[in-house]
Amino acid sequence: MKERNNLERFKRIWARTGTRMGFVTLLVVLFWLKTLVAYFVDFKLGLSDPFQFLIVLLNPIATTVLLFGLALYLKRARFFYPFIFLIDILDTLLLYINVIYFREFTDFMTVSTVLGYSKVDQGLSGSSLALTSPHDILYWLDLVVVLVLMLTRRIYVDPRPVNKRVGLAVTSAALLAFSVNLALGEMDRPQLLTRTFDRTYVVKYLGLDAFTVYDGIKSGHTSELRSHAKKSELSGILKYVHKNYAAPDKKLYGVAKKKNVIIIHLESFQQFLINKKVNGQEVTPFLNKLYKSKSTYSFDNFFHEVGQGKTSDAETMLESGTYGLSQGSLFTQLGNDNTFQAAPAIFNQAGYTTAVFHGNVGSFWNRNNTYKNLGYQYFFDASYYDTSGDKSLGYGLKDKLLFNDSVKYLQHLQQPFYVKYLTVSNHFPFSLDSEDSNFKTPNTGDKTVDNYFKTANYLDQSIKEFYHYLDKSGLAKNSLVMIYGDHYGISNSSNKSLAKLLGVDPDDWNDYDNAQLQRVPLMFNMPGYTKGKVEHTYGGEIDVLPTLMHLMGMSTKKYLQFGTDLFSSEHNQVVAFRNRDWESPGYTSVDGTIYSNKTKQEIHPTGKLKTKIEAMQKHVNQGLNYSDSLNTKNLLRFYHPKGFTAVDPADYNYSDGLQKAEKLEKKLGLKSTSLFSRNGDKSTQGLYKTDAPELNHKETDSNRIKITNPDDTSGK
C-alpha cells in the first residue's frame, strides 16, 4: 500500500511537468543540479566555511529562475517551448565553456575573453578536446532526456498560456532572491562589486550568470572611458615611469650594439626544467649548457607575469613594455587600433629589419592585425609553411620544422634584424607523435605532467639544431639570442602531481609553492662573449624590453615602459603578477597572505615590515593601474617621443613577405646585407641539419648534432 501511495504521489508530481510552470520548474532544477556539479567538481571556489557553502548552493537559483521565467511571458506553445530550450542550451553552453576554460586557466571566461576568442579562429579545439572529462556528459544529458521525453509524449505540451501576473510574480521572486543572495555575499565579503576582487569571488557569491552580466557591464564601462580619455590623464603615468626609471649598467650598455636580435619564445616552458633530470636523463641538455655558458647572462629568479592573455600577454610585455590587461587579451581586444611605441618599430627606426616566424595561422590571438600596429615588417605565419599531415600539432607547425623551414625566409632579411620565433610544440596538451621523441617520461599518474617533459625535450632538440645553423651560417657571431619562457606549462591544479619530481611532499604543497613555480627562463646569449653568468636578480617579463634595449645601446628614457633594466643597480626587484600578487627577494604575496621566502611560512607583518610590505603592494597596484589606463584608454595617441615616428599599420602587408625581401635584395645589389647575398646569392638551407622524421631524414652521423663544450654552440 505504501509503495502504491508513493507511486501515485510520483505520478501526480510528474503530471505537473506537463504544465508550463511545472516544465519551467523541472528545467530550473536540472540546471541547478548541473551547475552544482561544475561548482564542486570542476571549479575551485575556495569554500572556507558552511556559510559560503550555503551561498554556493543558493546562488544559481535566482538567475536561473529569472532567465528561464522569461518564457512564461510567451502565450503560444510553439514559442514558449523553443524559447525556454534555447535559454537552457545557451546557459548550458556558457557553463560548459567555463568548465573547459577553468581546467586550463584556473579562471573564468570574461566577456572580453569571449569576444577576443572570436578572433582566435583555430587551435583551441584540439586543446579543448584534451580538457574534456567523462563526467562532462552530465552537462548535456538533461537536455537530451527532456527532449526525448517530450518527443515520446512522456511530457505533454501545455497549450494553456500562463497569466501575466504569474510571470511577473516569478520575475519578482527571482529578483528578490538575487537581492538576498547579494546581501549574503556582501555580509561575507563587503564591497564585493565595488572593490577589485578575484573573479572567483563573484562566481562564488553570485553565480556564473551574474558574473557574466557584471563583467559585461564593466567591459562597456571601459569602452566608455576610452572614448572620453584626455591627454591630461598621462601626467600621473609619466611621473610614475620617470620616478621608477633605472639607469643602465655602464659596463653592459651597448655591449651588443648593432648585432642581430634573435628572440626565441619558449612556449609554456618553466624554469624547473633547466638542469632537471628524469629517469637519469637531462630533460633539456642543450639549454642547460647554454644556461651555464660564459657567453650567456641567465636569470634564475625571473617570473612570467601573464594573465588571461597568456602567450599574447608575454608578447605584450616583451614588445611594448606594458602589462597585459586584467581581463582578456590586449592583442585581441585592443590590437586592431591601439597606439604602440613598441620594440619592432623602435628597432626598425634604428635600421633593423623586423620579422616574426610562427607556424600558426596569422589570425590566432589577432596577431595579423596587432603585429602591424607594433611595427613588424614581416610576419611569416602558417601560410608560408607546409603544415599538412603530421607536420603540425594543434597550435601549428612543429618546432623542428619551423626552425628548418624558416631559413628560406630568414636568409633574405637585411641585417641587422630583430626577429622572433614563436615555438608551439611544448603546448598543452603536450602531445607528440611517437616518432618525434624517444624520451622516457616519468610516471606521476598525471599524463599531462608526464608528457610535459617529453615535449620540452623535443623543444630543446629543436633549438640545438637551430643553433647549429646559426654557427654554420655565420649568424651566431653577429647576433644576440634572447631566450625566454612565456608562461607556466603545468597549471596549479596539476602541481601536486609534479611535487614529487621536485622533491616536495604533495601533502605539504601550498599556494606559496605555486607562486614559486611561476619562474620561467631568461637568457641573453652572445656567442663569443666570455663574461656571462647566472644572475640571481628578481625580475619579470615587464623588465625584458628595457634590459634588451640597453644591451643594444638604445636609450629607454623617452618611452613609457613599466619595467626596468635587470642589470641596473636601481632595478626594483618587486615582481607584479597580473592578479596583484607579487614576488620579491624576501617576501611573497599570494591573495593578500604574506610568506617569508626564508622560512616559506605565512607571516603577519607589523611595524616597519608592515610599512615595507604595504609600499611593495602600492608599487604593484600603481604599475598595473597605470598600465591598464594607458592601454584601455589608448593614451599613447597623446604621447609623442622625440625622434619616434608613429606606426601606420597600412604600411604592412604580410601576404608576400619573401617576394618583398627578394625584391629589396635586388634593389640593393652589392649593398645588400642579407645572409643570402653575403653567401654569394646562394641559399644557406643546405647548412641546416635536422632529424625531423617528417622530412624523412635518416639518422646518420652527419645530421646528429653533438655539443660537448658548454661554451661551444657550433654543434661540432
Question: How far apart, in whole angstroms, are the C-alpha atoms of residue 158 and residue 79?
Answer: 12
Q: First vs last Cα of the chain: how many Å apart?
A: 90
* Separation of alpha carbons 417 and 262, rounded Å: 8
On whether the CB atoms of residues 299 and 537 are closer than 8 A, the answer is yes
Residue 311 annotated to the active site: yes
Among 136, 113, 140, 111, CA closest to 124: 113
Q: What is the 3-state secondary structure (H, E, C) of 231-258?
A: HHHHHHHHHHHHHCCCCCCCCCCCCCCC
* H/E element, 330: helix 330-334
427 labelled binding-site residue:
yes
Of residues 206, 149, 121, 188, the one with CA closest to residue 18: 149
* 619 marked ligand binding residue: no
- Written as one letter, the residue type at 420 is K
Contact 534, 298 (CB under 8 A): yes
Rounded Cα gap, residues 410 and 658, in angstroms: 9
Choosing from 284, 311, 332, 684, the catalytic residue is 311
Alpha carbons 423 and 426: distance in angstroms, whole number? 8
**φ, ψ (nearest 5 deg) of residue 129:** -60, -40
β-strands 353-358, 378-380 pairing? parallel
Residue 267 assigned as binding residue: yes
d(CA 555, CA 253): 9
486 is an annotated ligand-binding site residue = yes
Could you tell me which residues come within 8 angstroms of residue 118 by beta carbon, excluding any fewer than 6 positions away? none
Task: Give the SS3 label for residue 359.
Answer: coil
Whether 311 has a binding-site annotation, put simply, is yes
**Strand order across the 602-603 sheet:** 575-576, 582-583, 587-590, 593-596, 602-603
The count of C-alpha atoms lying within 13 angstroms of the C-alpha of 651, restricted to the half-sphere facing its C-beta, is 14
Annotated catalytic residues are: 311
Positions at the binding site: 267, 311, 427, 486-487
Positions at the binding site for Mn(2+): 267, 311, 486-487
Positions at the binding site for substrate: 427
